[in-house]
Structure 1
Amino acid sequence: MKCGLTDSETCLKAVTLALSGESTVVKVDQSGNVDVNRIYSQLPLYTGDLSIFKPSSFYIVIQTNIGLRLEIQLVPIMQVYITAKSTFQGQTCGLCGNFNNIQADDFTTIGGLREATAVGFANTWKTRAGCPDIKKRFENPCSLSVENERYAKYWCSMLTDPAGVFSPCHSEISPDIYKSNCMYDSCNCEKSEDCMCAALSSYVHACAAKGIQLNGWRNTACSEY
């Protein structure tokens, strides 16, 4: 939902997972509270459908018996990473794409058409009719503040530094798009440091999923966390 000072700044406030024809509904809020079928639940929790546990103060993990896994990051801001088993290939739909390994058709609308822009695509997947459409924005938030741009460039450039702490992963995952997202979010967020650290952690998370562990990056950035 909308948060912060600008119209374009949004925050993830909760993640809801519905399983078995919605007979099991799990909701996790940004504070880490977990409700199962609207009842507050202590972790770890194990049922026939899923297991929910908190491996660290940063994450809540939901592992389902159908091959869907959610890693919900709580610090410094809420983020969600979704992993689906290969048996789901071509069967998914929504904002994460259709999982057919063809990136060109991921902007498929709820009606089955293909949109050219992210904004047009996202607007078709609204779950509440009362939510206003997203409007396409052309301005770069970093152009609105020299101070914010300088801050974002200093920290986010660490991602692409060929001799930096993130460089062992460069050959596996290009850091360029992560740097762009880091710059945009750091300039656009009311709490620049939180968004910058979340963007850096996204790259670290992606590298870890590929088996590349990046250690010590918090010593140079985001030591508060």
Structure 2
Amino acid sequence: ISGDPHYYTFDNQIFHFQGTCTYVLSEVSNVAMAFYLLYRFDKIGNPLLILNFCHCIGLWKWFAVNGTFIATPFTLHNGSIQVYQSGFSLAISIDFGLLVTYDAYSYVTISVPYDYQNATCGLCGNYNLHPEDDFRSISGEILSSDVDFANSWKVEGDTDPECHDVRCTGLGCAVCTANEMSLYSDTNHCGILGDVSGPFASCHSVFSPQTYIENCVYDLCLGGGYQPILCQALNVYSAQCQQQGVQLGHWRQPGFCGKCCPATCSNPSTPNNCPLPNQESCVCDDGYILSAGQCVPEANCGCVFEGFYYSEGQSVVLGEDCGRQCVCSSRSMVCNQHQCGPAEVCGLHNGVRGCRPISYGTCSVESLGSYHTFDGQTFRYPGACGLTLARVMGPSQLPYFVLTVEKVPRGLQEFTRFLRFEAGGTHVSIELGEGSNVQVSQNVFFPSALY
């Protein structure tokens, strides 16, 4: 699945579908094992991939959007699941032969062993080597419309308000002008894929470039010629070719063909045991190695602890009850006991486990100078000067903020009131009253003496 998106089934049926819901990409179920892949777009158009599978009796859900952030590579469930970087994509390999790659942008590949012939269903088709019956709906009916087929695999119960059936057909969802067609089809754009003397020529005998050119032109039309879209479209054809062992000419600057599985601090010998062919990738300079996605000197590698890798200096809270806080130091993980406070609960926030407040203290100010503190004290102060409402006191590990209110004389009898807030280098000033004005400035320092 690539681009906006374009689908290439197991049997090489090609269709185009711009859905806004969650769809079953591929699903299989038998006595021994089952899996299903879901594909959807978030509210700003980024594709999300969700994989669920069960093996024998146990059920595991391991790939989700709001899970804990873990550095690759790592393994799960006694090594039956391997997650690692492959070229520019994340690869997920499961012991029964399923391999999924995802570039976290718009390119997904799903590979299954030949045992799965005529056993799959979903948008990727039934894998029976007959592309003419790939448009089989969830009810088993073979449809003539790719749009009706795709809509039939929409996941039931999708409550996202952005989810609705799509009725435009294939490449007709966006029409290129004659000028756009001519421009985006030349060898400086998508036409480079078909250039017989270009960097992709060695793959023409394996994959005809015509469909990839058409999809590339379509995506560029939708994106107004945005350069990263072109790079992504070229990468799709490149990746397909390299998976077949075809070595291409240099089409990136600089071009480099590296190991599909790069060496990492947690597994320096990975390239020697990689089952995949070499492909274009970013590699570390000699003497450096990948540490949580960053190239570091080999001497600066971090810690492998309880099956997962942590970079040097990284601090994490572990345990379902946040009972340990651990720091990676000199390749050793050092842990002390950790405990959440009485008004906190252990949980995940943006992929990071930690203690989160279960309640909040509230301070309020009423219009006639009546103040209510965080601890419930009430007092009145009608003064017409700048007052600090709240700020972080003294040395603290908490993020700093300061909130002030100020009355500025205007004329003989009137005042203009301002609420000012500063945090993280950003200052927000709000003029209170009807039709309030808001001014935001970045990285501005306001000395506390002004308050």
Which string of whole-angstrom CA distances, capped at 9 and with x for unpartnered residues, describes residues 39-84 of structure 1? 333321112331001244x21110001110011113xx33111111
Tell me how far 1:204 sits from its aligned partner: 0.7
Distance in 2 (CA, whole Å) between partners of 1:220 and 1:175 is 23
Residue among 22, 44, 63 paired with 1:27: 63
SS in 1 for 2:252: helix
Q: Aligned residue for 2:118?
A: 90
Q: How does 1:29-44 map to 2 (within 5 A)?
A: 38-44=67-73
SS of match in other structure, 1:217? coil
Instruction: Call closer, same or farther: CA 1:139–1:50 in 2, change over 3 Å.
Output: closer
Residue 32 of structure 1 is matched in structure 2 by none
* Residue identity matched to 2:82: S
- Equivalent residue for 1:134? 166
Flag the 1:215–1:161 CA change in 2: closer, same or farther, 3 A: closer
1:93 Cα shift? 0.5
User: Match of 1:193, as an amino acid?
Assistant: Q
Asked if structure 2 preserves the Cα contact closer than 8 Å seen for 1:44 and 1:54, the reply is: yes
Bigger Rg, structure 1 or 2 = 2
What letter matches 1:178 in structure 2?
A: Y
CA distance 1:113–1:68, change in 2 (3 Å): same
Instruction: Tell me which amino acid in the other structure corresponds to 1:81.
Output: T
Q: Which residue of 2 aligns with 1:192?
A: 226
State how many pairs are aligned. Answer: 204
Q: Which has the higher helix share?
A: 1
Separation (CA, whole Å) in 1 of partners of 2:234 and 2:119: 31
State the secondary structure of the residue aligned to 2:211. helix
Q: Counterpart in 2 of 1:78?
A: 106
Does residue 216 of structure 2 align to residue 182 of structure 1?
A: yes
Amino acid at match of 1:192: Y
d(CA) in 2 for partners of 1:140, 1:162 = 28
**Match of residue 248, structure 2, among 192, 214, 218:** 214
Q: Does 1:50 align with 2:81?
A: yes
Q: For residue 20 of structure 1, report the CA deviation from its aligned partner.
A: 0.9
User: Secondary structure, in 3 states, of the residue corresponding to 2:109?
Assistant: strand
What's the Cα RMSD here? Answer: 2.7
The superposition leaves residues 90-136 of structure 1 with CA deviations (integer Å, 9 ceiling, x where unpaired) of 11100111111101011111110011121111000111445211112
Runs of 4+ in 1 over 6 A off after TM superposition: none
Q: Which residue of 1 aligns with 2:98?
A: 68
Q: Note if contact 1:12-1:79 (Cα within 8 Å) is conserved in structure 2.
A: no
Residues 198 and 249, structure 2, Cα contact 8 Å, conserved in 1: no
- In the alignment, the residues of structure 2 paired with residue 28 and residue 54 of structure 1 have an alpha-carbon distance, to the nearest angstrom, of 17
TM-score, length of structure 1 as denominator length: 0.80
Return closer, same or farther for 1:177/1:28 CA change in 2, 3 Å cut-off. Answer: farther
Report the Cα distance in structure 1 between the residues aligned to 2:154 and 2:47, rounded to whole angstroms: 16
Counterpart mapping for 1:109-128 below 5 A: 109-128=137-156
**In 1: Cα distance, 2:244 partner to 2:71 partner:** 31
Unaligned runs of 5+ in 2: 5-17, 20-40, 256-281, 283-451
Task: Return 10-19 or 205-214, whichever deviates more.
Answer: 10-19
Aligned equivalents of 2:218, 2:48: Cα separation in 1: 22
Q: Deviations over 1:141-190 (max 9, x none)?
A: 312x83x4444223111111111111111111100100010011111125
Counterpart AA for 2:206: E
- More RCO (CA 8 Å, sep 6+): 1
Query: 1:152 touches 1:196 (CA, 8 Å); kept in 2?
Result: no
Percentage of pairs with the same residue: 28
Q: Is the 8 A contact 1:13 1:78 kept in 2?
A: yes
CA distance in 1 between counterparts of 2:209 and 2:185 reads 14
Partner SS for 1:218: coil
Which residue in the other structure is 2:128 paired with?
A: 100
